[in-house]
Amino acid sequence: MPTRLDWRIMNQKGGLSMNAILIFCQEETPEQKKEMRDLLDSAGIGIARVFEQNVKAVSRSTYIGKGKCEEIERFLQVDPSANVVVFSSDLSVMQARELERRFDRRVLDRTDLILHIFLEQAQSAAARLQIESALLRRQLNRLIGTNVHLTRQRGGVTNRGAGEKQLQLDKRLIKTRIAQIEKELARLQKQRDTQRASRLRASVPLVALAGYTNAGKSTVMNGFLRRFHAKDAKQVLQENRLFATLDTSVRLIEQPYGQSFLLVDTVGFLHDLPHELVRAFHSTLEDIQLATCVLHVVDASKPNYLDDIEATETTLEAIDAASIDRLVVFNQCDKTEIVHPAVHASQVYISALDPGDIDFLAGQVNERLFGEWVERETKIPYSDFSRYDTLRQTARILKTEEQEDGVLVRYQIRHRLEKNIQKG
């Protein structure tokens, strides 16, 4: 039987299909149960049978009780098509090993499943390396736990058997690979730092999309691209499944009157997002930390959207981004009775599929970035009339009046863009 972490190769092209027994271990809400099913679907794993047990006292060796283990064993004898067992809760090293021994199947917990999805969906070199590092660190922790388990079994005897020698070799190989990954990630980090420094020198504000996975962040991004770019503008992937996109995408949103900004789409969040992933993607999530404004996208059509908001806010705190100015964007209002577009304080209600709603959201973002419209008047001498062309690029021209020594111009401009205009 392959080792515990070799399970992930089975679902690759040309491999075996994966069919799971799903075990809910606590009093999960209907939304939490749906999320686990959606995670399995995103991982390409089918569900053969669902078992539930509200575990009051967690078994140190198997998490679930003896009777439930026996019930699952009997099912596996009748229907051997299930080749993996998935737990909704995280398991210890000892629990995972004992369950695999009893079921003679690969046993995955929730974190294993999420890491598998990330591994399958990552496209960029940085994302793939970050996930590989998280997987290897998790595997290393399990091997260390296994080593402790073997030591206790021997009662402290120092003679090493073949199994322990292999464990030591595996740990050494994993540590070597982690060091290689960290070196390559450091190189990629320098590239990102150079790109970010270039953005700062250009003085273009950065707006970051954040939110629960599958809330519609990529749809909002594509809505901006359709509205403010040519039809052939490169859009980002949007699919109705968890973690459809993992790689950071940055696009320049060019608008009239100097109101351009960079819009970045980041990885989606999740309830109880494994700390391994928060740590792995910390460098990627730095784009949120550097943002002038965060658009916290929420699926308004979900019954438990308040839980999604809490999960996102918790993650923003974990990456030190909780203090950044943000708008909460309630998306998919077209699937509800909510009137849209609308704004109440820092909450905007839209459907990202409606161009008019995107215009409305852009107005709210522009106000956050560039301030309110103010009305000004200036006289441009005929000898310096090129200033008029510069003014037209940043301001709304309301009225012009030709005078003997120049042109008197009345215009509207965003308050924070006034510094870009040479006063006359």
383 and 256 within one domain: no
pTM to 2 decimals?
0.74
Q: pLDDT of 252-292, one tens digit each?
A: 898 887 788 999 888 788 887 777 667 666 666 777 888 88
Q: Which of 82, 100, 121 lies at the terminal end of a domain, its last residue?
A: 121
Residues 6 or more apart from 384 whose CB is under 8 A from it? 424
Average model confidence (pLDDT) for the chain? 81
> How far apart are alpha carbons 268 and 281 in whole angstroms?
11
38 and 14 within one domain: yes
Residues 6 or more apart from 377 whose CB is under 8 A from it? 408, 409, 410, 411
301 and 351 within one domain: yes
Q: What's the pLDDT score for residue 344?
A: 94
89 and 117 within one domain: yes
Q: What's the pLDDT score for residue 139?
A: 79
* Average confidence (pLDDT) over 21-34: 88
Q: Domain with 339 in it: what CATH number?
A: 3.40.50.300
110 and 244 within one domain: no
130 and 113 within one domain: no
pLDDT category of residue 356 using cuts at 50, 70 and 90: very high
Q: Domain with 80 in it: what CATH number?
A: 3.40.50.11060
The DSSP code sequence of 270-323 is -TT--HHHHHHTTTTTHHHHT-SEEEEEEETTSTTHHHHHHHHHHHHHHTT-TT
Range of the domain at 343: 204-370
284 and 344 within one domain: yes
% residues pLDDT > 70 (the chain): 81
Copy the structure tokens of residue 74.
């009997």
302 and 218 within one domain: yes
Q: What's the pLDDT score for residue 244?
A: 53
Of 294, 362, 347, nearest in space to 325 by CA = 294
Q: pLDDT of 211-260, one tens digit each?
A: 998 889 989 999 999 888 744 456 665 555 555 555 677 888 988 877 88
171 and 105 within one domain: no
286 and 327 within one domain: yes
Q: Which of 80, 105, 121 lies at the terminal end of a domain, its last residue?
A: 121
Q: Which of 121, 149, 176 lies at the terminal end of a domain, its last residue?
A: 121
253 and 214 within one domain: yes
Over 70: is that where the pLDDT of 149 sits?
no
Q: How many domains does the chain have?
A: 4
Q: What's the pLDDT score for residue 260?
A: 86
* Average confidence (pLDDT) over 397-422: 84
43 and 139 within one domain: no
pLDDT category of residue 3 using cuts at 50, 70 and 90: very low
